[in-house]
Amino acid sequence: MKEFNILIAGSGGQGVQTIGKLMTEIGMEHGFEVSFIPSYGPEMRGGTSNCGVNISTEPIASPLVVTPTQLVALNLPSLDKFETSVVPGGSVIYDTDLIGRAPARTDVTYYGIPFTTLAEQLGVKANMLVSGKLLAVTGFCDPDGAESTIRALTAKRPAFFEPNMKALRAGFAL
Amino acid sequence: MSDKILMKGNEALAEAAIRAGCRCFFGYPITPQTQLPEYMAKKMPKIGGTFLQSESEIAAINMVLGASAAGVRAMTSSSSPGISLKAEGISYLAGSDLPAVIVNIQRGGPGLGGIQPSQADYWQATRGLAHGDFRVLSLAPAGIQEAVDLMGTAFDLADKYRMPVMILGDGIIGQMMEPVRLPDPVTELPEKPWAAKGTRGARKHNILNSLYIQPEELERVVRERYERYAEVEKNEVRVETWLAEDADIIVTAYGSTARICRNAIRAARADGIKVGMVRPITLWPFPSAAYAEAAAHAKGFLDVEMSMGQMIDDVRLAIGCSRPVRFFGRTGGVVPTPAEIRAEIDALCKEVL
């Protein structure tokens, strides 16, 4: 059984839900069992935002991600809140531009990357760089495999296909 | 390519209703079910149906009554406080023998409560929905595919037994996304010779009414209705059992809570504890026989709910209090974790094994 329980957290407007939905769509395309659950309520109008994604070779039991195998933290409150919940041996992807402090644990793998700066330099969206890195860390699919999903999701605005693929590939290579 | 699409529970319920032949939707927004009317607002006008955002929940349920009386497949949806407002209309639907589908995506209560997931409306859905002797058939999906499948079932059962059917979900079911395979749209709907849709001078007009001034007449009508309810209890019980055959411990939960219990059961099984599950899909009629069967070999039951303990009454009745039934619940919008449930399984083991 191969299973990823991914928790993605940040501020409203950072594209946290988009990362989660994208991972879920890609997982589904590749024949995995998947579920996606957003935080809901006033946070969608600013404030904190998070979502849980399960990608598994087995049917998903609880859709909630309480003890993530992968945590994506895109602001300090998110790292503070969820860092301790990551399973031992799990991994944490975080944005060093937005989070000043050092990691607190020794039993998880940290990927501290300046996503915000890199996105500005490359002229792409930071959340797509993060998505690429998340594909690399989980390894359930590579950017080539995600192409059909990105194409379907940009079907109404085909001009967005190339920049999104570029960001996904760049993030994957980080 | 996958033949499934990723859908949010609320939207999947709406699409499934349309495919089940629902052509009238009346509702009023409330978190966490607002995406359901939102989807209906976009889709209904395109297919020649009616979407109407009423001035209140009370208006919405009475519009459902009107549409249903005219023979149309009609529904409404809301969340806990909104369902309380609809209660009167649901009693009138039952008293007029009218089919309807009502979706409750539960949130914390009582009062305005909160907006996070809850299962504190179990008693309301299975017992005291409103005044009078009547029943509502209650279906509790644990995932989005099941919610879609049960929507078609809900409309069919509502028409078959001429009674309101409730789909009881919660904030998790409403908000989460899972892959679904949507059913083909229904092409043929059952005949409704009782509907008030115009006689064209060809027959005596139909009357749909819940007022019976003569006690004997009202008693006769209610008794006839209860004969139908007996048929529902005989034919429409739905339940899922999982790993229950050899189980010493039975965990029981419905809806999304049952999903969380699965994680705890898997973990306990991995440690060699014989744990299984009974998950009611119909809350009324309650699958009592499945519990009685499990009680033949199980030494204890653990009932888990997002409430202070409501379904536990039915569990105890189903097994005639022949085994200890332990309760674990979180309420107010707090969702239990697999680790908490696992700890409760261990505590029950100490008690009964």
For residue B175, the chain A residues in CB contact (below 8 A) are: 37-38, 40
Closest residue of A to B178, CA-based? Answer: A35
Residue A35 lies in domain: 3-173
More confident residue, A46 or B239: B239
pLDDT tens digit string along A112-141? Answer: 999 999 999 999 999 999 999 999 999 999
Chain B CB contacts of A67 below 8 Å: 339
Closest of B157, B173, B165 to residue B136, by C-alpha: B165
Residue A43 has pLDDT above 70, yes or no: no
From A34, A11, A13, A38, select the one nearest A23 (Cα to Cα).
A34
Q: Which residues of B touch A (CB under 8 A)?
A: 1-2, 4, 6, 31-32, 115-116, 171-172, 175-179, 256, 259-260, 262-263, 266, 335, 337-339
CB B99 within 8 A of CB B158: yes
Task: Say if residue B183 is preceded by a cis peptide, omega within 30 of 0.
Answer: no
Q: Can you read off the two tokens belonging to residue B34?
A: 């607002």
The pLDDT, as a whole number, for residue B1 is: 44
Return the CATH class of domain B5-235: alpha beta
Residues of chain A found within 8 Å of residue B335, distances taken between Cβ atoms = 64
Q: Where are the domains of chain B?
A: 5-235, 240-352
Those residues of chain B that have pLDDT short of 70 are: 1-2
Domain total in chain A: 1
Please classify residue B58 by burial: count the beta carbons closer than 10 Å to its beta carbon, then call 0-12 exposed, 13-18 middle and 19+ buried.
middle
Q: Are B338 and A66 in contact (CB < 8 Å)?
A: yes
Do the chains contact at A38 and B116, CB–CB below 8 Å?
no
Query: What is the three-class DSSP state of A147?
Result: helix
pLDDT at B2: 56
* Contact with chain B for residue A121, Cβ under 8 A: no
Q: Are the Cβ atoms of B256 and A63 closer than 8 angstroms?
A: yes
Say yes or no for a CB contact (<8 Å) between A28 and B262. Answer: no
Closest residue of B to A34, CA-based?
Answer: B178
**Top CATH class, B240-352:** alpha beta
Q: What is the pLDDT of residues A134-149, one digit of tens each?
A: 999 999 999 999 999 9
Q: Judge whether A1 is closer than 8 Å to chain B, CB to CB.
A: no
- Residue B346's nearest CA partner among B251, B238, B278 is B251
Question: Residue B17 and residue B238: Cα distance in Å, rounded?
Answer: 20
Contact A110, A91 (CB under 8 A): yes
Q: For residue B201, give the DSSP letter.
A: T
d(CA A28, CA A44): 25
**Alpha-carbon gap, residue B203 to B193, rounded angstroms:** 11
Of B42, B86, B33, B38, nearest in space to B64 by CA:
B86
A21 interfaces chain B, CB cutoff of 8 Å: yes
H/E element, A6 = strand A3-11
Give the whole-angstrom CA distance, residue B222 versus residue B216.
10
Q: Output the CA angle A121-A123-A127, nearest 5 degrees.
A: 100
Please give the Cα distance from B162 to B191 (Å, whole number).
12
Q: Which residues of A touch B338 (CB under 8 A)?
A: 62, 66
CB of A9 within 8 A of CB of A16? yes
| Spatial distance between the Cα atoms of B352 and B273, rounded to a whole number of angstroms | 13
Please report the ipTM that was assigned to this predicted complex: 0.94
Distance CA B36, CA A19 (A): 24
Q: How far apart are CA B103 and CA B146, in angstroms?
A: 14
**pLDDT above 90: residue A48:** no
Any residues with CB less than 8 A from the CB of A95 and at least 6 apart, and which?
A73, A74, A75, A112, A113, A114, A115, A116, A126, A130
Asked whether B285 and B137 are in contact (CB, 8 A), the reply is yes
Percent helix / strand / coil, chain B, rounded to 5: 40, 20, 40
Contact B337 A38 (CB under 8 A): no
* A31 in B contact zone (CB under 8 Å): yes
pLDDT band (50, 70, 90) for residue A1 = confident
Strands (E), chain B: 5-8, 24-27, 50-53, 74-78, 100-106, 137-139, 164-170, 177-180, 239-242, 249-252, 275-280, 282-284, 300-305, 325-329
**Residue A148 contacts B where some CB pair is shorter than 8 Å:** yes
Q: Tell me, yes or no, if the two domains B5-235 and B240-352 fold the same way.
A: yes
Q: Given this model, what pLDDT does residue B272 score?
A: 97
Q: What is the pLDDT of residue A42?
A: 65
SS3 A17: helix
Locate B236 and state its tokens: 């429409």
**Per-residue pLDDT band at A45 (split at 50, 70, 90):** low
| Inter-chain CB proximity B179 and A34 less than 8 Å | yes
What mean pLDDT do residues A89-115 have?
97
Report residue A65 CA to chain centroid gap.
13
Candidates A34, A64, A148; nearest CB to B260: A64
Q: If phi over 0 gives left and psi between -120 and 50 gives alpha, with beta otherwise, what is residue B308?
A: alpha
Minimal Cα–Cα distance from B185 to chain A, Å? 24
Spell out the residues 6+ positions from residue A111 whose beta carbon is closer than 8 angstroms to its own. A91, A92, A93, A94, A133, A137, A174
- What CATH number corresponds to the domain at position A55? 3.40.920.10
B242-301: pLDDT as tens digits? 999 999 999 999 999 999 999 999 999 999 999 999 999 999 999 999 999 999 999 999
**Average of per-residue pLDDT across A20-27:** 97
